[in-house]
Amino acid sequence: MTMHSEVFSSLVRLNIGGKKFCTTVDTLTQREPDSMLAAMFSGRHTLCLDSEKGYVFIDRDGKHFRHILNWLRDGVVPTLKDTQYSELLREAEYYQLLGLIDGINAILDKRKENEELDTELTRTDIIIKCIQSERVRFRGVNLSGLDLSKLLFCTSVRPGMHIVPTAYRGSATISHGQLRVFLWNCNDYKTVLG
């Protein structure tokens, strides 16, 4: 066998749900040797070939197969929208690409975690936290813009005298339902006697 025919025989033409791809056997078998694709092209199985063009037909949607091929080539999970990740995850599960499955799940978990961190507190969230916990810290939390008009955040300066902030910016620690540490921006406050 000549060098030219060896290279040619390692090329694989794929028809994935009507979309055509060309790659090598090494690409399909090296990164994930236990995958369905590696098993298909191991030489142990009979493949469904298009007799005219020599394409191997796989009855799947080819929309995301380019991402699968690129991942098999370089191991990098593409940057996609969450809905596209869900579709790619289904394809990765079908082809049994465990590394790609793990990569997609890690990205989706990180996005979910970041989304939870970015979620803004509501008035109800603050009330529930104060009721459920002995001690609640609001360090670095910007409470401006929240309707906290029915909540009284104040601290005692001396017996019978309290400072009540009108600008809720700062941090606080609430312990046993009482404000213990009070670090508000006190440019806007009023003093209440009694």
How confident is the model over 35-78, as pLDDT tens digits? 999 999 888 877 777 767 789 989 999 999 999 999 999 999 99
Question: In the chain, where are the structural domains located?
Answer: 3-117, 123-193
Write down the pLDDT at residue 9.
54
Residue 190 has pLDDT above 50, yes or no: no
Q: What CATH number does the domain located at 3-117 have?
A: 3.30.710.10
pLDDT digits (tens, 9 = 90+) for 53-62: 789 989 999 9
Sheet holding 56-58, edge to edge: 19-24, 11-16, 56-58
Q: So what's the pLDDT on residue 146? A: 60
Q: How many CA atoms lie within 13 A of 105 on its CB side?
A: 9
pTM attached to this predicted model: 0.57
Question: What was the pLDDT predicted at 159?
Answer: 55
| Averaged pLDDT, 158-165 | 50
pLDDT tier at 33, thresholds 50, 70, 90? very high
Using pLDDT thresholds of 50, 70 and 90, give the confidence band for residue 180. very low
Q: What is the mean pLDDT of residues 92-110?
A: 95
* Residue 139 to residue 184: CA distance in whole angstroms: 11
